[in-house]
Amino acid sequence: MTNVPPQNAIVTGASRGIGRAVALRLARDGFAVVVNYSGSRDKAAEVVAAIEGQGGRGTAVQADVADPAGVARLFDAAEQAHGRIGVVVNSAGIMKLSPIAAISVEDFDALFNVNVRGTFNVLQQAARRLTDGGRIITMSTSVLGMNFPGYAPYAASKGAVEVLTRILAHELRGRGISVNAVAPGPTATDLFLEGKTHEQIDRLAKLPPMERLGTPDDIANVVSFLAGPEGGWVNAQTLRANGGYT
């Protein structure tokens, strides 16, 4: 018999974009949701208000995922607010685009500090503290398969996320915990749209056979499946939610 994890979730980077959509969707699915944020306190409070407005339970907790002590405090606060954690979604991440020859060491380090070290910190706490039968979901990117100039450091950081995800799934053997990544294609978020011209956005929107950008809700629907009872047999996978982009 498959274990049913507690209906309590942590969503990192949940104050905006995909993380926000995931937090709202999991709340609609019946989860009590800890809305993690790094600096956007007001935006996180808006997400909690939206969750409560739809009849759900939400709590905003500040933590920088790159700080291991902060992530430990995040899990402490989540357990104090809602009890044992059944689902962890690590949606916190940054994007900095530059050719390899031009990127600064500071920008490269920032990418890996948040995207890789941050994912590691969240996965480590989840592995130690998630209840048996739980679900862990990370965020990669479908750009890994495209080899676009300017995306190398960002794509490299997300490649590391996929490796961490797959190996943790095997390390948690016997506990009934699934560990998967979701890899969005071009998705209409502030993170994606920032710094791009209308022409670039239109070109990227035409790449998948669906001929549109994804929406945060498109990605949240996939996370909902992985976090829910129907997704329990999917493990150590990367789901490329991209409309056929790659």
Give the H or E element holding residue 181. strand 178-182
Tally the C-alpha atoms within 13 A of residue 199's C-alpha that lie toward its C-beta: 0
Return the active site residues: 154
Burial class of residue 91 (count of CB atoms within 10 Å of its CB; 0-12, 13-18, 19+):
buried
> What count of residues does the chain have?
246
Distance CA 32, CA 105 (A): 39
Backbone torsion region of residue 236, taken as left when φ is above 0, otherwise alpha when ψ lies between -120 and 50, otherwise beta = left
Q: Give the chain's end-to-end CA distance (angstroms, integer).
A: 36
Write out the two tokens for 182.
């979701």
Helix (H, G, I), strand (E, B) or coil at 174: coil
